[in-house]
Amino acid sequence: MPDRTRFLGKTFVAAGAAAALALATAIPAAAAAPATVEQDVAQLYQDVIDLYDGLPADALRNVDRLIDSPVPRVGQRSRAADGPIPGCTEGSLLTYANKLAAQLTPLEGQALDALSGLSQLYVQGVTSDKAPQVFGTDGQYTGRATATIDKLRGFWDIESWNIQLVAWKGTDLGSQAKMAQTFSLGLAPAKVKAAAALATKVLYEVPVLQGGRNPLITLNAFSAPAGSLGGKRVALGDGLLDTVNALGFDDVSVESVIGHEYGHQVDFAHENYPRNESSEMGPDAYGGYFVAHAKGFAWNARTQQEVTYLDASIGDCYHSHGTPDQRKAAGAWGEKQATTQANPNRVIPSATMIDKFQKVYPKLMPPATAPQAAVAAAHG
Ligand SMILES: [Zn+2]
């Protein structure tokens, strides 16, 4: 399967086949009777598959998501090939999100998966920070998000003026105009209007979606490089902020997550695309350096520690994004670089920071999982 379908969510491929089948059997009845919710969801799901299949070849290349989005059932199947790392317990945020996802019926899960993929594409390919961005379901994080991106642009020595920070909001799914723009990115023009109308219809006819406010729809953040659809940007999901708040990390959420996602931009700028856990642990380290640094947020030891716990909360037990222990160690290493350097006001050049981290990161792999590093390398 091409990378782009995987982008939508873990259930996508297998459920897509089921959706296509449902469609085929539904066609004779659809002409006579009004569409049922099941038919609407199946049609929308197919529209979103067609949209993703119609995107330009590099649209999703190297776009990096914070977590594997938690959608029910099929996810475990897609990961079964590797199996979880023995002795590892996934982070608290993933546990929480998986619990939310497990409460959905198959129909709700399918609707949520399609709409999450659609809203992700809207924020990646249509939104622009030329329009004011509102962070958090009630705009409560807008000030912090703006302050963080401003600080980051001055902190790291990479081209920064053209890195957009955009808000990923489930409520954008309620706008037929926005959804028509989104479907236009890849769907056949003749189908765009109906698909956009169907997206907003499903949003309100499946109650659990809460008109776009179900946190699972936007429970993520991502960083996109130049050359991908929409260009360089960091997107921050309202659902992620709500969930991090529920877990008690609210006072560090916005700064930590944007600091991490901006860390991917640091790697992108130097064309550093490691094929191992350091691709996620690196941005954790750069983010830690930023929040602890005198020219960053200069957070104190207690707050720095909270950041490392947040890093751990999004660790998984597969060789993809780093385990909780690995991510915590990477964040703490970055913070230590800031607090132990001779001149607290000096910011290490980003290229030097990348080199330093690439040298140290094998040592940050806890002993219990160290033998697995060879397996990860073989996968790369
Ligand atoms: Zn990341």
Kindly give the distance from the C-alpha atom of residue 300 to the centroid of ligand 1, in angstroms, as a whole number: 24
Kindly give the distance from the C-alpha atom of residue 265 to the centroid of ligand 1, in angstroms, as a whole number: 10
Task: Give the tokens for residue 38.
Answer: 């099941």
Would you give the DSSP letter of residue 208? G
Kindly give the distance from the C-alpha atom of residue 38 to the centroid of ligand 1, in angstroms, as a whole number: 35
Kindly give the distance from the C-alpha atom of residue 55 to the centroid of ligand 1, in angstroms, as a whole number: 23
Kindly give the distance from the C-alpha atom of residue 85 to the centroid of ligand 1, in angstroms, as a whole number: 20
- Residue 369 has what pLDDT? 46
10-residue averages of pLDDT along the chain (380 residues): 41 42 50 85 95 92 78 35 79 92 94 94 96 95 98 97 97 97 97 98 97 95 95 97 95 97 97 90 97 98 96 86 90 97 97 96 68 45
- Residue 80 has what pLDDT? 42
Instruction: Mark 196-232 as b/e (b = at least 16 C-beta within 10 Å).
Output: bebbbbbbeebeebeebebbbbbbbbbbbbeebbbeb
- Residue 10 has what pLDDT? 46
Kindly give the distance from the C-alpha atom of residue 260 to the centroid of ligand 1, in angstroms, as a whole number: 6
Q: Do residues 237 and 218 make contact, with C-beta atoms less than 8 angstroms apart?
A: yes
Kindly give the distance from the C-alpha atom of residue 64 to the centroid of ligand 1, in angstroms, as a whole number: 6
- Residue 78 has what pLDDT? 43
Q: Do residues 19 and 42 make contact, with C-beta atoms less than 8 angstroms apart?
A: yes
Kindly give the distance from the C-alpha atom of residue 25 to the centroid of ligand 1, in angstroms, as a whole number: 41
Which ranges constitute the DSSP H helices of the chain? Answer: 3-8, 12-30, 37-53, 74-79, 92-102, 106-125, 142-155, 176-183, 189-205, 238-246, 253-269, 278-292, 301-313, 324-340, 350-360, 372-379
Please tell me the distance from the alpha carbon of residue 278 to that of residue 321, in angstroms, as a whole number.
8
Instruction: Mark 274-298 as b/e (b = at least 16 C-beta within 10 Å).
Output: bebbbbbbbbbbbbbbbbbbeebbe
- Residue 198 has what pLDDT? 98
For strand 233-237 and strand 164-168, is the pairing parallel, antiparallel, or unpaired?
Answer: parallel
Q: Do residues 155 and 290 make contact, with C-beta atoms less than 8 angstroms apart?
A: yes
